[in-house]
Amino acid sequence: MFYEAAVFAFFDSDGDGVGDFAGLEAKLDYLSWLGADCLWLLPFYESPMRDGGYDVADFRSVHEPYGTIEDVARLVSEAHRRGIRVIADLPINHTSDRHRWFVEARRPGSPTRDRYVWADDPSKWGEARVIFSDTHDSNWSWDPVAGAYYWHRFFDHQPDLNYDHPDVAAEMIDVARFWLDMGLDGLRLDAAPYLYERDGTDCENLPETHAWLKKLRAVVDEEYEDRALVCEANQRPEDVVAYFGDGDECHMAFHFPLMPRLFMALKRGDASAVAEIIEATPAVPEGAQWGVFLRNHDELTLEMVSEEERAYMYEQYAPEPAMRKNLGIRRRLAPLLDGDRRRIELMHAVLLSLPGSPFLYYGDEIGMGDAHTLDDRDGVRAPMQWDSSPGAGFSSADPSHYHLPVVAAPGYGPEAVNVEAQQADGGSLLNWVREALALRRARPFFGAGGFELVPTGHPALLAYIRSDGASKVAVLANFSDERVEAEVRLDGVRWRPALASGCRLEGRRGEAGPYGYGWFEPPT
C-alpha cells in the first residue's frame, strides 16, 4: 500500500503552522501501525508554492519550511528502519518561472533560451488540449521580457522544459539521480505524457517522450537496485500501458480510467462500467504493476470519460458549481460518498482486491472532509486531523496561522473525525481500513495474482476471483442500495468470509444487502 502525503499537511514539528520532514518522521509509527508499505511525498523542493510545490524553483533543494536535505535523508532512513519505503514526486515536465533556468532563458539574447519552448505564433500546436481549463484558454503565454510566447501545459507560471535541448534531457536524469542517491526508493513522474511537442500531434504520449523515459529507466536499472518509477499519465488504458514499455519503461502507472468508473458504478447501482474497463485494460509486462486509487491531491479527474458520463458525474457528485475544478471534482472521498460508512467500505473492499497496488490519500483512512470553497485544490489538502482539538493536533501554532485551515465542514471537523478517537474505537473506519490492509497483505496474490471476472447475471453485483493457483479469494460487491440475490458462476464450494459486510456466498448463491461486499475463501 502506498500512502500519499503532503509534507505541508501531515504534521508540524516546529510550530510554524506548516508541516515538515521532522513531523513526518514523528508520525512514521502511525504509518507502520496502519500498514503502509511506501510513503509517496508530494513535491518538497524549493518552490514559490503557487501549485502546491509542483512549481519547482530548484530541484536540488528542500522547500525551506519543510526542513533540510539532511531531514529528508533522516526520514528515509527512519522509514527504512520500519520497513517503509519512500518515493518522491518529481515534476519533470516544467519548472516554476522562478527557476534559475527560466530567469536566464527569458533574457533578451539569452544563449539558453531553448531550454524552454518558445514561439512567435500562439496558434501553434492547437491540437493540444488545455488541462487547467478554469484558468487558461491557451497553452501559450506572452513573455514581454523575452518578446515571445512560451509553452506551458499547466499554469502560466510553470513553463514547460524543452526536452529537445540536450541540457534539459540530461539534467532531469541527474536530478533523478540526486534523489535516488539520497536513498529514495523511487520517483513519481509527474505529468509524464507531455515532455515533447511535435507538429501535427496533440503533443501527448509521443515516441520521443517514451524514449526519454526508457533512458531514465536504463539509468535506474544500471546504477541502482530495487527502485521504482511510477508514472502519472492521465490517459486512456491503451495509452497508459505504453508507459510500461516492454518492461523497460516505468515500473508502475496509475490506473486513471478505472477510478471515475468506480464512482459512477456506485451512483448508478450498476457495476458494468467497472467490469468493462477492467476487461479493456491490456495486460501489463512481467514485473510491472498498476497503481489503483480512489482519490488523491488533485481534483477527481473526469478527462477520460465521455461527455455524457462527465455530466452525470458532475450532477451526482458535484451539485454545487464550487465543487468543480477544471474537468473534475475537488472533493474528498468521505464527502463524495456522503460520509456513508457502507459505501466507503465497499469502495475500499474493491480497491484493495483489484490487481495492482492501492494508493491511499492521507486522511481518507479516517474519512476526512474537505473545503471546496478554498482556492484551486487546497480544499482537499487540509491539515491531517490527529486529535479532537481545534487545531486537530497538527501543530502547536495558532490554527489561524496554519498554512491551510483545518476542515470545518459540519460533521467533519477534528472533534468528529480524528486519528486518536478512531484508534481507540475498535469499530472505527480507521481500524476497519487497517484490518482490511492486514488481510490483504496476508494474501499476496491480491497484488499481482490472477484476476477473473465472474458473471453474476445482476448488473449491481460485481464478482471476481483473485488467485495464485494455490489460494484464491472470491470478491463480491453490491454497488446498489438494494438487496441483491444472484447466481454467481463459481465452483460450488463452501465459502467462508475473510472480510465481509451484509454479504453471503453459499455455493453459487450470492446475497448482498445495500452496498454489501465480501472477500470469500474456500475452507483450508
Residues recognised as catalytic? 190, 232
Measured CA to CA, the distance from residue 382 to residue 393 in angstroms comes to: 13
**Element holding 335 (H helix, E strand):** helix 333-336
d(CA 78, CA 373): 37
Of the residues 154, 256, 263, 386, which one makes contact with ligand GLC according to CB under 6 A? 154
Q: Does 91 bind ligand GLC (CB under 6 A)?
A: yes
Residue 45 within binding range of ligand GLC, rule CB under 6 A: no
With a CB cutoff of 8 Å and minimum separation 6, the contacts of 96 are 47, 48, 50, 55, 56, 57, 102, 157, 158
Q: Does 46 bind ligand GLC (CB under 6 A)?
A: no
The grid coordinates of residue 61 equal: 533543494
Position 49: which residue type?
A: M
Least distance (Å) from ligand GLC to the CB of residue 139? 13
Q: Which of 132, 244 has the CB closer to ligand GLC?
A: 132
Tell me, letter by letter, the H, E, C secondary structure of 80-132: HHCCCEEEEEEECCECCCCCHHHHHHHCCCCCCHHHECEECCCCCCCCCCCCC
Closest contact distance (angstroms) between CB of 47 and ligand GLC is: 11
- Other Cβ atoms less than 10 A from the Cβ of 127: the count is 10
Task: State which residue, 189 or 266, has the beta carbon closest to ligand GLC.
Answer: 189
> What string of H, E and C letters represents the secondary structure of 376-397?
CCHHHCCCCCCCCCCCCCCCCC
Q: Could you tell me which stretch among 47-55, 65-73, 197-205, 390-398 binds ligand GLC (CB under 6 A)?
A: 47-55
Which of 191, 241, 242, 349 contacts ligand GLC by CB under 6 A?
191
Interface with ligand GLC by CB under 6 A: which range of 50-58, 67-75, 267-275, 422-430?
50-58
* Residue, CB closest to ligand GLC: 54
Shortest reach from residue 190's CB to ligand GLC, in Å: 5
Choose the stretch contacting ligand GLC; rule: CB under 6 A; options: 51-59, 394-402, 451-459, 463-471: 51-59
- Can residue 2 be called a binding residue for ligand GLC (CB under 6 A)? no
Contacts of 245 (CB under 8 A, 6+ apart): 210, 213, 214, 217, 285
194 binds ligand GLC per the rule CB under 6 A: no
Task: Rule CB under 6 A: say whether 53 interacts with ligand GLC.
Answer: no
In whole angstroms, the minimum distance from the beta carbon of 330 to ligand GLC comes to 11
Q: Cα–Cα distance between 46 and 394 in angstroms, integer?
A: 22
CB of 19 to ligand GLC, least distance (A): 17
Residue 193 engages ligand GLC in binding (rule: CB under 6 A):
no
- 337, 259, 253, 351: which is closest to 301 by C-alpha? 259
190 touches ligand GLC by CB under 6 A: yes
In the complex, the residues that contact ligand GLC under the rule CB under 6 A are: 51-52, 54, 91, 154, 190-191, 297-298
